[in-house]
């Protein structure tokens, strides 16, 4: 094999292992080699489990030699955001409070990937309790962007974005409550899928907001995300909020053309106050989608600022309720910024919270009416590329709160509506930072987003570009 195995896509490496073109050990060693090279600069991994991973890889190879293929991810090493419970493993949730917490159960999403044959080679860094959009972590250090280590990865799935971009893992689970998959995908130049609320079980995943939390993958391509979603989605007796709707063949969906599809471009909010380079990438992406046969139409959306406000109210209250006991007993063990965000929820009246929850149905109905006749909407994930770590550090920069407010404004409305959104690498700035755009779909129509994303990725190579080690 001429290509460094770690550089292959998830779909390609899984096929190569299954056909014995390459062994799980070779693949795992390739990832571990890259981790050794990159980890000191990126801080993307929380734990690296080289010995156990090689042992599991050898077992996978031995099993395959006997004709026993465990599933579509047989022998593929994966690492995930350190908030997915894995029985017997420490799961820190990026926090001091859970630094020594050993899970006694395995999350459904993770178990389904294991059942498909994947092996574990470590766990990935994250923002403390997934409550922050930049990638800073006062306890374990900021995760760095492999395209420029002075810049943020975005959060809260900071390690997932950084590690997938640097090709240290073929894919990673993230979670998205206010943009935590899409922002790292955008800032790090990888593909990230925020799923519909209820599409993937949340059993055994650290909670932040029960109404908004979603589980989803970050990977090189839409096709990789499709493979993972197909394995994870569906009903779960451990989580009755997981939908019983049938799980479509997402990988098959990625093969279809987008000729004749109608893609909406918002007339306001998502196109306001964009950095020039983000605006340029949006224009270029629209041109590519047109070239591929899609029809581009303007859509006038309901006021997205109201959705953003409602999202913040719901998130703040639900997060404070989850954390109340520790806020009383161990406030000193939180990072100051995370504690401040949690304290916000204490000041929101129950009536305001319930009003925000009651509005969710009518707000979703109004949004869907506005996008009727389109198959998806395209919008930037954020109005800017990755800020520097220094300028977005709330403890050290006077401008940081403004930066944080700006980077989260395009993601939160979608969480409030519970809709799926796919962030796809769509271009680069002149200084070499990635820019991603989000395709926003209808509830439970991830297949449409993956179809459009895959068509765009057949026409472009942004998702295949790999950052160079300095």
Partner 1 sequence: MTDVAGVPQTAEVAERIANSIGPAFEGFAPVAGTLPFDLEPASFLLVQTAKVST
- The contact set with partner 1 (CB under 8 A) reads 196-198, 243, 245, 262, 303, 305-306, 308-310, 312-313, 316, 320, 324, 327-328, 340-341, 343-344, 346-349, 352, 355-356, 358-365, 368, 372-375, 405, 418, 442-444
Name which of 90 and 327 has its Cβ closer to partner 1.
327
Minimum Å gap between C-beta 39 and partner 1 is: 34
Name which of 331 and 432 has its Cβ closer to partner 1.
331
Structure tokens at 238: 């451990």
The string of DSSP codes covering 84-133 is B--TTSB--TTSSTTTT-B-SS--HHHHHHHHTT-EEEEEE--SGGG--S
How many Å apart are CA 434 and CA 187, to the nearest integer? 6
Minimum Å gap between C-beta 460 and partner 1 is: 25
Name which of 39 and 210 has its Cβ closer to partner 1.
210
- Name every residue whose Cβ is closer than 8 Å to that of residue 4 and which is 6 or more positions away in sequence: 30, 34
Name which of 90 and 404 has its Cβ closer to partner 1.
404
Minimum Å gap between C-beta 377 and partner 1 is: 12
How many Å apart are CA 249 and CA 231, to the nearest integer? 10
Minimum Å gap between C-beta 101 and partner 1 is: 22
Minimum Å gap between C-beta 290 and partner 1 is: 18
Residues 421/414, Cβ–Cβ less than 8 Å: yes
How many Å apart are CA 405 and CA 415, to the nearest integer? 16
**Angle 360-370/350-358 helices, nearest 10 degrees?**
30
Name which of 288 and 306 has its Cβ closer to partner 1.
306
Q: Helices (DSSP H) in 123-249: which residue ranges?
A: 158-165, 182-188, 222-232
In terms of Cβ atoms closer than 10 Å to its own Cβ (0-12, 13-18, 19+), residue 298 is exposed
Minimum Å gap between C-beta 285 and partner 1 is: 21
The string of DSSP codes covering 378-407 is EEESSSSSPPBTTTT-TTT-TTHHHHHHHH
Residues 453/224, Cβ–Cβ less than 8 Å: no
Name which of 368 and 469 has its Cβ closer to partner 1.
368
Residues 5/26, Cβ–Cβ less than 8 Å: yes
Structure tokens at 391: 């300028």
Minimum Å gap between C-beta 171 and partner 1 is: 27
CA distances from 25 to 44, 76, 88, 165, 227 (A): 22, 9, 23, 22, 22
Residues involved in catalysis: 81, 156, 180
Name which of 107 and 243 has its Cβ closer to partner 1.
243
Structure tokens at 12: 């390609």
């Amino acid at each position: 094999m001429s290509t460094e195995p770690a550089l292959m896509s998830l779909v390609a490496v899984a096929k190569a292992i299954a056909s014995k073109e390459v062994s799980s050990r070779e693949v795992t060693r390739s990832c571990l080699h890259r981790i050794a090279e990159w980890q000191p600069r990126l801080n993307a991994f929380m734990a690296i489990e080289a010995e156990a991973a090689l042992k599991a890889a050898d077992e996978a190879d031995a099993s395959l030699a006997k004709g026993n293929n465990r599933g579509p991810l047989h022998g593929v090493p994966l690492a995930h955001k350190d908030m997915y419970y894995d029985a017997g493993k420490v799961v820190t949730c990026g926090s001091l409070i859970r630094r020594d917490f050993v899970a006694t159960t395995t999350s459904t999403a993770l178990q389904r990937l294991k059942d498909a044959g994947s092996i574990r080679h470590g766990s990935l860094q994250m923002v403390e309790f997934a409550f922050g959009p930049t990638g800073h972590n006062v306890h374990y250090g900021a995760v760095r962007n492999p395209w420029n280590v002075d810049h943020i990865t975005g959060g809260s799935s900071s390690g997932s974005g950084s590690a997938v971009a640097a090709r240290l893992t073929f894919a990673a689970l993230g979670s998205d409550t206010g943009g935590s998959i899409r922002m790292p995908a955008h800032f790090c130049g990888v593909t990230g899928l925020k799923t519909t609320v209820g599409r993937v079980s949340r059993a055994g995943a650290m909670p932040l907001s029960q109404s908004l939390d979603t589980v989803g993958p970050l990977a090189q391509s839409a096709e990789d995300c499709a493979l993972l979603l197909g394995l994870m989605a569906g009903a779960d007796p451990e989580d009755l909020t997981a939908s019983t709707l049938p799980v479509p063949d997402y990988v098959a969906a990625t093969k279809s053309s987008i000729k004749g599809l109608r893609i909406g471009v918002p007339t306001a909010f998502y196109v306001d106050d964009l950095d020039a380079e983000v605006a340029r990438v949006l224009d270029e992406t629209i041109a590519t989608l047109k070239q591929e046969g899609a029809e581009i139409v303007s859509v006038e959306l309901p006021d997205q600022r109201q959705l953003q406000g409602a999202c913040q109210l719901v998130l703040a209250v639900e997060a404070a309720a989850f954390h109340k006991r520790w806020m009383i007993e161990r406030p000193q063990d939180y990072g100051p910024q995370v504690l401040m965000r949690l304290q916000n929820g204490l000041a929101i009246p129950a009536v305001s919270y319930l009003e925000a929850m009651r509005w969710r149905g009518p707000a979703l109905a109004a949004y869907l009416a506005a996008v009727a006749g389109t198959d998806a909407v395209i919008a930037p994930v954020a109005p800017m590329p990755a800020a520097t770590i220094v300028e977005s550090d709330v403890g050290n920069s006077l401008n940081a709160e403004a930066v944080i407010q700006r980077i989260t404004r395009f993601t939160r409305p979608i969480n409030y509506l519970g809709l799926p959104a796919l962030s796809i690498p769509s271009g680069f700035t002149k200084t070499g930072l990635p820019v991603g755009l989000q395709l926003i779909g209808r509830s439970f129509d991830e297949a449409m987003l993956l179809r459009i994303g895959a068509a765009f990725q057949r026409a472009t190579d942004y998702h295949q570009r790999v950052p160079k080690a300095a």
